[in-house]
Amino acid sequence: MGFTFSTMTLNLLLLIAMVATNILSLYHLSTTLQSPKSSPKPLPQIPDELLRQLHTIRATINHLTRLQDTNPNPNTKSSIPSDLLLYSHLSPIASSCHNHPDLLHKYMTYTPFSLCPSDSELAESLILRGCHPLPRRRCFSPTPKKQTPSSSFPHNPFPSSLPDSSVIWDRYSCKSFDCLNRQNPNLGFQPSRETSKFTTYTSDLDLPVQQLLQIAKSAKSVLRLGLDVGGGTGSFAAAMKLRNVTVVTTTMNVVAPYSEAVALRGLVPLHVPLQQRLPIFDGVVDIVRCGRAVNRWIPATMLEFLLFDVDRVLRGGGYLWLDHFFSKGVDLEKVYAPLIGKLGYKKVKWATGNKTDAGGVKNGELYLTVLLQKPLSR
């Protein structure tokens, strides 16, 4: 009788404790979110933020439950990889990493000081979910077998072909650059086909680099350093390299080895997802180009943060080039033009045109190409 009573009491106490802590954390959340100094308009953000927090809590509980179920030895507290525990003492881990404990634990489960697992796909999944920068590991990343000697790598950023043997193809369905080119010749994996991409003018949506440099020159500005956001295989950086302008390219290896292709062209790939703060200091670059990867599929708020981060890295008088940004025709006027307007930049070029491919026609999409100049001083 006494035993049953105390078990019941214990259970009841546990229940009360659980409810109390949950209510407390909700209270804490709502007070911190509603405090007036946190942001000028906090109210619309609460549901999203709450959902995210709840999602994190649920992911953690699920993970812990699974750990408990699969852990036959109750003396080992959990199966958190030891290098993850060690790393977390040395350096912070991006909070979004913790939303995906399964992936994170898998990524950090390896044998230190030996060859890393072939898991670049796993790394990419984590990065795309906001787990960036990834925690460091103490292992050797695999290199391709039978590599082409680097002395034969092209110096010209528009070579007729790229060496297949410099890529680890395991995770891709294609096993060569030729295969990628056959699947879609527009992906940029045959650099020699890209030579005219940034030098020809077929419609008002184009801005050939000669014209771009001329615009800067006549504004008594100079282009020496640039950033290409979502720049695929790096053809903009390549075109600028021929004109002695240094451009780095952010790119992800989604479905194909974009980073390797950029590097094989002698250009710098930055492995950074679109939602991430640009790894560049404030006010130092002359031009930022956003290619087609930046488009209406990015939620408007996220796009706003992206554009303001671009503003941060641009120097006064620097240029922002949105190249073939696409959106639905109605949204261009209602959403995107006002959003771009918030930057307060000078409009150097503003051109729109119909997106005439199947998807564009179906969704009533327009292209927008704009060149904007950041004010010299604020």
Ligand X SMILES: *[C@@H]1O[C@H](CO)[C@@H](O)[C@H](O)[C@H]1NC(C)=O
Nearer to ligand X, 84 or 240 (CB): 240
CB of 243 to ligand X, least distance (A): 5
Of 194-213, binders to ligand X (CB under 6 A) are: none
CB of 250 to ligand X, least distance (A): 25
Sign, CA dihedral 67-72-77-79, equals negative
d(CA 203, CA 180): 28
CB 235 within 8 A of CB 254: no
> β-strands 225-229, 285-290: how paired?
parallel
CB of 329 to ligand X, least distance (A): 8
CB 227 within 8 A of CB 288: yes
Nearer to ligand X, 151 or 244 (CB): 244
Q: Alpha-carbon dihedral of residues 191, 195, 198, 201, nearest 10 degrees? A: -140
| 217 interacts with ligand X by CB under 6 A | no
CB 206 within 8 A of CB 371: no
CB of 208 to ligand X, least distance (A): 14
CB of 215 to ligand X, least distance (A): 16
Nearer to ligand X, 223 or 313 (CB): 223
CB of 341 to ligand X, least distance (A): 23
Nearer to ligand X, 121 or 204 (CB): 204
Nearer to ligand X, 88 or 246 (CB): 246
Per-residue mark of binding to ligand X, 16-55 (x: CB under 6 A): ----------------------------------------
Nearer to ligand X, 105 or 197 (CB): 197
Among 224, 243, 334, 342, binds ligand X (CB under 6 A): 243
Strand partners, 246: 225
Tokens coding 58? 């649920």
* φ, ψ of residue 99 in degrees (nearest 5): -75, -15
Q: Render 113-138 in DSSP notation, one character per residue.
A: TSBPPS-HHHHHHHHHTT--SPPP-S
Question: Exposed (0-12), middle (13-18) or buried (19+): which is 95, by Cβ within 10 Å?
Answer: exposed
From 225, 150, 238, 134, select the one nearest 193 (Cα to Cα).
Answer: 238
Nearer to ligand X, 271 or 355 (CB): 355
Q: How many residues bind ligand X (CB under 6 A)?
A: 3
Distance of CA 123 to the CA centre of its chain: 13
CB of 269 to ligand X, least distance (A): 22
Among 244, 281, 359, 377, binds ligand X (CB under 6 A): 244
Of 325-364, binders to ligand X (CB under 6 A) are: 354
Nearer to ligand X, 52 or 243 (CB): 243
d(CA 335, CA 328): 10
CB 332 within 8 A of CB 295: no
CB of 114 to ligand X, least distance (A): 44
User: Where do contacts with ligand X occur on this chain (CB under 6 A)?
Assistant: 243-244, 354
